[in-house]
């Protein structure tokens, strides 16, 4: 569903948001798209266990846990950070995943860095038996295929499509399904030059660009300015956005609109990739730091 964003914008710009956050109550946004064909493939391969990786507040972990439960898979989450073992009950994401039946293995940050190496995966197979592996963030060929379904024929009127970028799987799907006249702008939620190449592994088309000016210091980092922006956006539009991904992207697009980046009368589509489950965990952190919290209540 595309919803018009009614803000006071210059240059005749028209802004719409694709509400992928509303696709499913628990498996929100792009994680739903990314899991679709992977879970089908796991069934074809007759696997009954899904194993994946993620951090403390990972949308992907929450999505795999719920989708696994819904579709009858056993799920295993390899979680970054030894110390989280004792904090499950204070961590809304992990608590939710555990209630969905996900089994955790907590590992050190050092071990986590080697998570996709064959040695480590063999070690996991010995420990857990056979499993269908979904990489961190859920990005692989089948995930990109799922994300090709985000844009539909009714989106052909848009000149620009903007989305947040984590591992790059979502934007790769959007790039592959975009029409030749459309420009795709990605807003990385983290620092790093590697994303461009990652995206090219899956999408060979041109006509897209990453805008690296709105990561706010890196993954999961947030500033008071961003919090105020998101709260104001919510009070004007009643659309909740998450602080890790979509919040930064929307901040970036509105900033660029005011700086005259887009041509007059441009039609811009923002992809709301979901991730609202992360707001509660973020607010816990903000309270500890005595910063204002996100009032984008859901
Ligand atoms: C995971 C996630 C992203 C990033 O998607 P990638 O395919 O990894 O680039 C964007 N937005 C939300 C809300 C997410 O949960």
126: CA distance to ligand 1 center in Å? 31
Position 192 scores a pLDDT of: 82
Specify the 3-state DSSP secondary structure of 294: coil
CB-based contact 248:214 (threshold 8 Å):
yes
> Closest Cα to atom 3, ligand 1: which residue?
166
Instruction: Evaluate whether residue 296 is within a structural domain.
Output: no
Mutate to test the pocket of ligand 1, among 65, 187, 275 (most ligand atoms within 8 A of CB): 275
Is 246 a pocket residue for ligand 1 (Cβ < 6 Å)?
Answer: yes
Same domain, 200 and 226: yes
Is 140 a pocket residue for ligand 1 (Cβ < 6 Å)?
Answer: no
Is 58 a pocket residue for ligand 1 (Cβ < 6 Å)?
Answer: no
In terms of residue numbers, what domain contains 80?
29-138
Instruction: Evaluate whether residue 61 is within a structural domain.
Output: yes
151: CA distance to ligand 1 center in Å? 16
Is 245 a pocket residue for ligand 1 (Cβ < 6 Å)?
Answer: yes
* Mean pLDDT (whole number) for 33-37: 98
Residue 71: is its pLDDT beyond 70? yes
Query: What does the pLDDT look like over 36-58, one tens digit per residue?
Result: 999 999 999 999 999 999 999 99
> Closest Cα to atom 5, ligand 1: which residue?
166
What lies within 8 Å, CB to CB, of 149 at 6+ separation is: 33, 36, 173, 177
Position 28 scores a pLDDT of: 84
Same domain, 275 and 158: yes
Same domain, 93 and 191: no
Position 296 scores a pLDDT of: 79
34: CA distance to ligand 1 center in Å? 10
Query: What tokens does 101 get?
Result: 């039946």
Instruction: Evaluate whether residue 293 is within a structural domain.
Output: no
Query: What does the pLDDT look like over 85-139, one tens digit per residue?
Result: 999 999 999 999 999 999 999 999 999 999 989 999 999 999 999 999 999 999 9
Counting the structural domains of the chain, the total is 2
Is 190 a pocket residue for ligand 1 (Cβ < 6 Å)?
Answer: no
Q: Indicate the residue among 138, 163, 183 that finishes a domain.
A: 138
CB-based contact 84:61 (threshold 8 Å):
no
Which numbered atom of ligand 1 lies nearest the CA of 186?
A: 9
Which numbered atom of ligand 1 lies nearest the CA of 29?
A: 13
DSSP 156: T
Please give the mean pLDDT across all residues of the chain: 96
Same domain, 46 and 113: yes
60: CA distance to ligand 1 center in Å? 8
Q: Indicate the residue among 138, 155, 186 that finishes a domain.
A: 138
Instruction: Evaluate whether residue 297 is within a structural domain.
Output: no
Same domain, 55 and 168: no
Instruction: Evaluate whether residue 173 is within a structural domain.
Output: yes
Is 30 a pocket residue for ligand 1 (Cβ < 6 Å)?
Answer: yes
Query: What does the pLDDT look like over 170-199, one tens digit per residue?
Result: 999 999 999 999 999 999 999 988 999 999
> Closest Cα to atom 13, ligand 1: which residue?
275
Position 143 scores a pLDDT of: 98
Same domain, 61 and 206: no
Indicate the pairing of strand 267-272 with strand 208-210: unpaired
Position 205 scores a pLDDT of: 92
Phi then psi for residue 24, to 5 deg, are -155, 145
Position 297 scores a pLDDT of: 67
Residue 298: pLDDT band with limits 50, 70, 90: low
Position 264 scores a pLDDT of: 97
Position 85 scores a pLDDT of: 95
100: CA distance to ligand 1 center in Å? 21
């Amino acid at each position: 569903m595309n919803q018009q964003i009614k803000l006071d914008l210059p240059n005749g710009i028209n802004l719409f948001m694709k509400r992928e956050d509303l696709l499913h109550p628990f498996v929100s946004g792009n994680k739903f798209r990314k899991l679709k064909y992977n879970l089908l493939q796991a069934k074809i391969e007759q696997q009954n266990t899904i194993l994946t990786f993620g951090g403390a507040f990972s949308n992907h972990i929450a999505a795999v846990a719920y989708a696994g439960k819904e579709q009858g898979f056993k799920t295993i989450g390899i979680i970054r950070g030894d110390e989280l073992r004792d904090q499950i009950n204070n961590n809304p994401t992990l608590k939710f995943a555990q209630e969905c039946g996900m089994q955790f293995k907590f590992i050190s940050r050092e071990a986590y860095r080697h998570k996709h190496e064959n040695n480590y995966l063999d070690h996991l197979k010995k420990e857990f038996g056979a499993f269908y592996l979904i990489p961190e963030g859920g990005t692989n060929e089948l995930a990109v295929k799922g994300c090709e379904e985000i844009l539909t024929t009714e989106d052909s009127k848009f000149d620009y499509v903007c989305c947040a970028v984590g591992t790059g799987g979502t934007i790769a799907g959007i790039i592959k399904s975009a029409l030749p006249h459309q420009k795709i702008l990605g807003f990385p939620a983290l620092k790093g030059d590697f994303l461009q190449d990652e995206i090219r592994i899956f999408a060979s088309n041109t006509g897209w660009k990453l805008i690296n000016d709105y990561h706010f210091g890196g993954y999961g980092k947030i500033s008071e300015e961003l919090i105020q922006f998101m709260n104001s956006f919510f009070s004007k539009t009643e659309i909740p956005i998450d602080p890790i991904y979509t919040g930064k992207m929307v901040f970036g697009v509105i900033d660029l609109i005011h700086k005259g980046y887009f041509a007059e009368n441009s039609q811009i589509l923002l992809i709301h990739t979901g991730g609202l489950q992360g707001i509660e965990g973020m607010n816990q952190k903000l309270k500890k730091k005595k910063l204002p919290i996100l009032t984008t209540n859901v």
